[in-house]
Every structure is written in C-alpha cells, then in structure tokens.
Chain A
Amino acid sequence: MSIKVLEKIKVFVDRQVNNRPISLIWHGGEPLVTGIDRFKAMLDVFEELRLQGKVDHHVQTNATLITPQWCDLFKAYNVNVGVSIDGPSIATSRRVDWGGKEVFDRIMMGINLLKHAEIPFSAIAVVSEYALNNVEELFDFFNSLGCHRWGINIEEKEGINQDLDNLSPQSVKKFWTELFKLWIANPRIIIREFQNFLDFAQYGLANLDDSWLNQVQEDWFPTIAWNGDVVLLSPEFAGVKSVMYDDFFAGNVLEVELGTIVNNAPGLRYVIDYREGVMSCKSTCRYFAFCRGGQASNKFFENGTLVSTQTNFCLNAKQLLFESIVSVVEGLKTK
C-alpha cells in the first residue's frame, strides 16, 4: 500500500470527532508479507494520531511470519493482534502454504513468540466438519492456547471457497449447544459469539424502549485496497467483479476524499439494495432484533443479490446460535 494512500486516510481520520479511537485493521491476504520495515513505515504515518488517542491498530495474521522483531514492533505501536487458527493440527489442516504444506506448527511458533513477548492476542477460527464434531477438544484447545478472545466463523461457501463440507443445521445447533454448556461451566476466555448474544440479551432486558429496532444499523466499514480503491459494507467485496454493482467500487481516496466517498454511499446501487434487503429482513425475520439484517457479502455471494434476506450465515451464525443458547437458558432451574 502506498504511503500516498495512507496519507489520504490519515487526513480523514484526523478530521473525525470521536470519543474513542478509530480502529485501523490491517488484513487481507497475510499483512506480515509486507515486511517489517515497510509495515513500520505504514504505521509511522499514523503515529502522531495514535499518540493523540485518535487511532489504534489491529492486525489479523496467520502468525507464521512472526519473529521477535515483529513482536517488538507490535509492542512499540500497541498493535492488537488477532491470529487465524482453526484448532488443533487436524482442525487447522486446511491452512497451508503456497507449497501445500500444513502451517499449524509455524502458527504455534508465532503464537509462542507472542506469549513470550507478553503480547495479548485474540484468535479467529473457521469451524469445519471435524471441529463441529469434536467440540470439547476444540474448546480445550482454545482455552489452553493463551488467547483472551475467540471468534468463531462457521465454514461457509463464499467467494473462492466453494468446495467445502456440507454442514447440517442439526450438527451446527449441536455444536453451539455443547459449546455454550462447556463455556458456562468454564468461562475462561471471551467467546465472541456468546458475548454478542449476552450483550443483546442484557440490552433487551435493561431497556424496554424498543425504538432502536426501527433504526437500521449502518457500519460502512470502508475497506481500502493498496491502490486506494474503496469498497463499503464488507471487506469481502474488495476485488470482486460484479457488473450489477460496478465491482462494488465506491471511489478512490487518491481522487476523492474518503469522507466524501462515505457520504455518497447512500447513492450507490449496492448500498441501496443492501438497505432494501435489511428492511425485508426486518419485516420477515423473527431473529431481526438479534441479527439486525445480516452480512452484505453473504447476501451477495449466497443469494446473488443484496436485495435478499436469509443466508446460510444467518442460519448458522445467528439463528442456530440463538436457538442453542435459548434452549440451554430455558433449561436453567430458577429458584
């Protein structure tokens, strides 16, 4: 990514008035491939703003390239590190290098370096058929890993990932139910999906004014490519071809200010369609209060259009999660 592009982003960030920092998430492919010197130069663009509390950094990495020097850099710039790992070696076997060799051991080496340097990290796992059927092993693994937070993505057919296991709703529900039971018995680490649900439950129980249900949540989530091209709503849209949606192109920061690109978002065809899809969710789905309208990229990749409602992501990550937790909570014996 060119420094010129980063300077444009810096101008945008500097103009924002927020009571908390804007998070810059360095991801897509493997960000550490950039090399340590180059990465440092990119972070330096924002250093003044970081020291003012206006920005913080996050990196999502497979950890295979982490060295003690990277750890020093993460500490110096207070980078929040997220590691992509799917569980013990058999569950992580789909993560391979360009030569097709499994990278589990190298991921664990990277994690050990983070721990040695006392750098807290979170983990994101893609759950496939093996993990789905070995819940306790998976839970024990992440409990022992040393991460403070674990995010779970049920494997999905999206973009290039079309040749995947067929996961039945029954097995996904069994997975969430077993995992929730294990977690409430030993809630040592934060599990992102459970936390999101519990936050929703707390909010719903604490606030009887439901007017917030009528507000469609909009996080533009601008994703900026190396050349300054911007896509909105889902980072998965970066580099995706679509005649219907003009390749999801929202503008280029070298030509138009990022603030203007975001302000113009409501006029983009794919944003208009997404809003319509979310309103359809609101009028047809009993899980809307919890889900708030689903993921834009899943609507597109699974249904072919953003003017759509339910996806497999909705089913696996929202509806079955909801039903599993509620079924466990229903079984709790109150005094």
Chain B
Amino acid sequence: MTKQTVGPTTDNQSNDALKRVRNLAAQFQLLAEMLPNAMVSFPLPEDRWNNWDKFFDWEKWTKDPWGNWSNWTRP
C-alpha cells in the first residue's frame, strides 16, 4: 500500500481513510485478537459508552482503589 502524507487533498478522496483501513483488514483482525475486550463486533461508540462496565476491569480496580496520590510517583 502506498504511504499517504498528512493533509488535505484537492481530489475527492472522502473514503480514502476507509480504503486504507480495509487494506489492512488482516492486521486489524490480528489486533482484534490481541484486544478482545477493546474490539468487539461492531459496537457504535454510543453503545460502548452505555456498556462501558463490560469493558472495565472491576476486579483490578477494587483491589487497588486507594493510593498515596498526593505523592504519586511512577510505579
């Protein structure tokens, strides 16, 4: 696939971003396998937002709800 540069074009290429994603279908499939909780089958953003708790790791969160945040340093 030809590399694209950032910026507008003078041609009508409104679906160019879509074509580029489709050209990488195999790689996106691999990504979906790597991120089973982040890429599920066809959720719209609104659906995902309304169902965010399905994607949230409650167990980890409840194990470590506190911390000395005022003196936060990188773990």
CB neighbors of B among A173-213 (8 A) = 184, 187-190, 194-196, 198-206, 210, 213
Asked whether, in the complex, the Cβ of B34 is within 8 Å of the Cβ of A284, the reply is: no
A interface with B by C-beta (< 8 Å): 20, 88-89, 105, 108-109, 111-112, 115-116, 118, 120, 136-137, 140-141, 144, 146, 148-149, 169, 184, 187-190, 194-196, 198-206, 210, 213, 282-291, 309-310, 315, 319-320, 322-323, 326, 329-330, 332-335
Collect the chain A residues with CB atoms within 8 Å of residue B28's CB.
201, 205, 329
Closest to A185 in B: B34
Is there an interface contact between B31 and A184, defined as CB atoms closer than 8 Å? yes
Q: Which residue of A lies closest to B46 (CB)?
A: A20
Residues of A within 8 A of B14 (CB): 213, 282-283, 285-286, 288-289
Contacts of A334 in B (CB 8 A): 26-27, 29-30
A-B contact count (CB 8 A): 158
CB <8 Å contact, A204 and B22: yes
Assembled-state Cα–Cα distance A144/B50 (Å): 23
Contact between A141 and B31 (Cβ–Cβ < 8 Å)? no
Number of B residues near A (Cβ < 8 Å) is 56
CB distance from A160 to the nearest CB of B (A): 28
A335 to B34, CA, bound (A): 13
Inter-subunit contact B69/A332 (CB<8 Å): no
Select from chain B the residue with minimum beta-carbon distance to A23: B49
Which chain A residues border B56 with CB–CB below 8 Å?
120, 148, 189-190
A200 to chain B: which residues have CB within 8 Å? 17, 21
Contact B45 A196 (CB under 8 A): yes
Given contacts A190-B38, A195-B48, 10 further A-B contacts (CB under 8 A): A140-B75, A141-B74, A187-B38, A188-B57, A205-B22, A283-B12, A287-B17, A329-B24, A329-B27, A334-B26
Indicate which residue in B18, B53, B66, B70 contacts A105 across the interface (CB closer than 8 Å): B70
The residues of A that contact B12 with a CB separation of less than 8 Å are: 282-284
A323 touches B27 (CB 8 A): no
How distant is the Cα of A116 from the Cα of B67 in the complex, in angstroms?
Answer: 11
Q: How far is the CA of A141 from the CA of B75 in the complex (A)?
A: 8
Residues of B within 8 A of A189 (CB): 56
Cβ contacts B41-75/A at 8 Å (1 or 0 each): 11111101010110111001110111101101111
With a cutoff of 8 Å between Cβ atoms, the chain A residues found around residue B16 in the complex are 286-289
